[in-house]
A and B are shown apart, each in its own frame.
Chain A
């Protein structure tokens, strides 16, 4: 009865259920190791573990892999043909996300109470998310001449970048034989933050180019990007991860909240505007005056000043890119299982992300895990995972999202790689 009450409380508050650094719901090893067991139950065999994790994920519902690759990886010339694939996919509202993270952490099971597992480690994350209009993409990659005498819809659009390193400690507690809860507290050293947000509005281009007029509320925050995010001193923050798993006879339900927290970023260059701004070029004064240099270099500060937009340097507190995830794993037998994941990130325009995975055990120590995903930054994507256990205590897992990159790079989006290397004791 006591355990039931505890479980009910956990379920009621939802976020109080806790998670581990390795995010069990995404960890193929953890899932497949459960499948090898006779029944889905919590075990206490491991004394602890060390895990190295890396994740890279790019996806968009519009910007193709080929375009992104040339823009980011190859740094090459992007031709009109290269643009066309993305232009064809552009919608009224578009999303793009890039997530890079890495962590190293260890767990240690309490000798006094085997139901308690301690956790500590370090992590780094660099995350970019953009939500943008079709016109703003065209402005950026084709220019504004096509909008001569017209409005280009520049908002609502947003672009956010986080970069931070964290040192974390956590604890997992087996409340009962069906329920695990856990929590982690992260101390965050801010690396870099930038945000550009435009409300609904337009950029108008005079037919002759006499002026360009922006009529959209906006704000822009930016810091100097440090070369070494661990050495940066751009602010401090804190966050928590919360996790709970409920074991049923043939299934496991996981609920977790990741990166619930905030960072105070220092010395943000801030530009804010909510009026109509018309840019008519640089005032070159008296062109007949001796020594007039006519046109000098134009800097953002001077342009902003000419438009009446004052730069303010201030500290700013932002929420971390918090993620809520619910997973359900169903074990059909020792060979097969299916798993559904549903997550949501609290970002403007972000679609709920759903993933259906199938688990098949080629051998008891080697699993293949194909999956289909929908939503998130992208639309519909596929993934393929592998999990292998070596020498009983070593495991390597890989989850690859590359099919679209190889098959239809110029017309589709999304690619990435997730790797886990774990040593159990």
Chain B
């Protein structure tokens, strides 16, 4: 009887004296139920005899968790099942990937510039000719200069004209470059009034060591026509400032030639298909790394996986580079798919410096492990793609093929929730010992079952065949023990699904009744589980981490037993002091039972304080008497018993101080024959108090 809510709050005894009269007819119940503290209320003692709790229980209340099965004749089979062994997915498949290291120099560096156009006027040529030490050349030069804007009836052929240096400046896009491959196209466009018979032009760096980049010779360029010559410049060093020198230029003569010193020969330099070994230049956007590879899971033994779904794990990417520009790279695992989208990440690595680390959660990804998706025949292979690129920035940077980008990619803490493939052939020993708690509360007396079945049950939720073998089972209870064995039993595969359909196999154990009647508290076992015992390859096998293979030790005992002073003891912690109404003074508790079970019982309670010291007890010599059985062994009539427990004032006080209570119950059946328990047996409990109670007591 807990304190707190008065039973008849609506009576609402207030200070007005007349109100107190009003509860007269309900004081009986009020005394039982109300414990509201009110110092201004009168008090008096009463002796209350009333029930306060009852319940009715059947075997389903005593045997929990569906561990009792009712047979068609209403008899009961008791099931006890304890886990022997659990085979987790991790035990047969461990996902370890090697680090995917890419330590890569630049594949290539592309370089390109706009065409460089240099115009050499007739005036420039004439003035250089005039200054020539060769008298005839000088005379020809002076003639041209003096004939500016005139039409000469005849111009003779002019040979061995030289000129230069004419500067070519590309330093706005290039400081210098070592050309790895490429061509320089030199195009000469004749804007002069006479044909060029031969032109030999030297293009040369303007700085030390003045290396010649190209020296094309072009011939027979008619007035107004162009001619191009390609020069292979592989291996050449190119500076941002160069000079063009005319080593030799020969003109055909002509008649009626109009001389205009502003007419010019145009030289156009165009680079193409150029890659550089190194350069300090403004580079165009270009891919600098492009890598595709398959990363294989390690230590897979005979396991060949086609696919796995990630329960947890992450991709870790560590990148460092010597490239003095930001590298943009894309890492993708095309066969890792989540919600229909392949895994792909775009990341930027800052210019040369430290190492950048990127982590991506792979939980929930289904990862194909068939290697290159274009081939798709591999196992345990994770296909990756890495693409690195630079972007056009408009800034000159030094870049060399010795520059490198270092990428380390790893799949870490990878735990699959599901795998598919061939899961290998291995044998797992399952030796060990398990405690059995079902008989733990038996602290005395004897219990003997009429019969029992014991088996090791393997629930195979993995999609692979196996076999189980139990070589030894030994049940222990103190010095008592019993042994059993079993034969090897094949385990059928589970059927894929989520959850998978479990295939259960029973491995029967010998000597079952003896095992059970030991009332074992521990069971030692030894045996093995074998996966793919035939070794037949089948890559459609599967396993879920959430649904491991479980092996149970299962007892099945018809509830037909002989109990003799079977004593059960249980200790229950009292989390908070019993809320006994402090108005309860003394008296007794009556346990009234109508027992429909064929055993008698005695129940006692011992109340302990926090240090385990016995504070008080509710003890009795009286038994809950067993029901009467008929000739067929079935109960024909329940039996009523009234057991009284004395509740002194001290006992009530002690109960309120207790922190735990030990219940001891002893049971006995007929000892001459087995008593069978049926599902329709009931026992009714009723607890009544015959207690001195102080009305309005505190």
Residues of chain A touching chain B, judged by Cβ–Cβ distance below 8 Å, are: 70-80, 82-83, 96, 98, 100, 126, 128, 130, 132, 136-137, 139-148, 154, 157, 159, 161, 194, 196, 198, 203, 205-206, 208-212, 222, 224-225, 227, 269, 279-289, 294-300, 303
Contacts and interface: CB of A to CB of B under 8 A. Distances in A.
Contacts of B40: 75
B5 A297 contact: yes
Contact of B21 (A72, A144, A154): A72
A132 B28 CA distance: 14
14 contacts: A98-B21, A139-B27, A140-B24, A141-B46, A144-B47, A206-B49, A206-B688, A208-B642, A224-B10, A227-B14, A282-B53, A294-B53, A297-B4, A298-B7
A177 B546 CA distance: 109
Given A208-B642, A209-B689, A297-B2, A75 B41 contact: yes
Given A71-B42, A159-B22, A300-B10, A281 B690 contact: no
A145 B47 contact: yes
Interface of B: 1-5, 7-12, 14, 16-22, 24-29, 31-33, 40-55, 57, 61-62, 64, 590, 592, 642, 685-690, 693
Nearest to B592: A210
A283 B43 contact: no
Contacts of A282: 52-54
B592 A100 contact: no
A79 B1 CA distance: 25
Nearest to B11: A222
B595 to A, nearest CB: 14
A209 B690 contact: yes
B684 to A, nearest CB: 10
A159 B688 contact: no
Contacts of B642: 208
Contacts of A79: 44
Contacts of B33: 297-299, 303
- 10 nearest A-B pairs in the assembled complex, by CB-CB distance: A209-B688, A143-B46, A281-B51, A72-B17, A145-B47, A140-B27, A78-B44, A145-B49, A143-B47, A297-B5
Nearest to B693: A143
A186 B4 CA distance: 42
Nearest to B32: A298
B19 A225 contact: yes
Contacts of B18: 72, 98, 100, 126, 128, 161
Given A136-B25, A145-B47, A161-B22, A283 B12 contact: no
A74 B40 CA distance: 8
Given A83-B44, A140-B28, A142-B46, 7 more contacts: A145-B690, A154-B25, A196-B26, A209-B690, A279-B51, A281-B53, A287-B685
Contacts of A157: 25
B42 A75 contact: yes
Contact of A126 (B16, B27, B44): B16
A210 B688 CA distance: 6
Contacts of B43: 76-78
Contacts of A140: 24-25, 27-28, 46
B581 to A, nearest CB: 10
Given A140-B24, A142-B46, A146-B47, A295 B52 contact: yes
Nearest to B45: A80
A73 B17 contact: yes
Contacts of A196: 22, 25-26
Given A78-B44, A159-B21, A300 B7 contact: yes
A303 B47 CA distance: 20
A42 to B, nearest CB: 38
A195 to B, nearest CB: 9
Nearest to B17: A72
Contacts of A100: 18
A142 B47 contact: yes
A283 B54 contact: yes
Nearest to A197: B25
Contact of A286 (B24, B55, B592): B55
A100 B21 CA distance: 14
Contacts of A75: 40-42
B20 A72 contact: yes
A141 B44 contact: yes
A196 B478 CA distance: 66
Given A72-B21, A130-B24, A225-B12, A288 B7 contact: no
A296 B62 CA distance: 22
Contacts of B45: 80
A288 to B, nearest CB: 6
A297 B580 CA distance: 11
Nearest to A76: B42
A212 B49 CA distance: 9
B49 A209 contact: yes
A288 B45 CA distance: 35
B327 to A, nearest CB: 61
B437 to A, nearest CB: 15
Contacts of B24: 130, 132, 136-137, 140, 159
A145 B54 CA distance: 19
A284 B20 contact: no
A351 B4 CA distance: 42
A368 to B, nearest CB: 30
A94 to B, nearest CB: 11
B55 A194 contact: no
B48 A143 contact: yes
A303 B53 CA distance: 12
Given A281-B687, A283-B54, A144 B28 contact: yes
A389 B461 CA distance: 108
Nearest to A290: B64
Contacts of A300: 7-10, 29
A59 to B, nearest CB: 12
B21 A283 contact: no
A222 B53 CA distance: 28
Nearest to B590: A208
B50 A144 contact: yes
Contacts of A98: 17-18, 21
A96 to B, nearest CB: 7
A82 B42 CA distance: 12
A147 B46 CA distance: 12
A132 B25 contact: yes
Contacts of A222: 10-11
Contacts of B686: 210, 280-281
A194 B50 contact: no
B71 to A, nearest CB: 23
Nearest to A205: B49
Contacts of A203: 28
Contact of B44 (A77, A287, A296): A77
B638 to A, nearest CB: 14
Nearest to A198: B25
A295 B686 CA distance: 12
A116 B124 CA distance: 150
B486 to A, nearest CB: 34
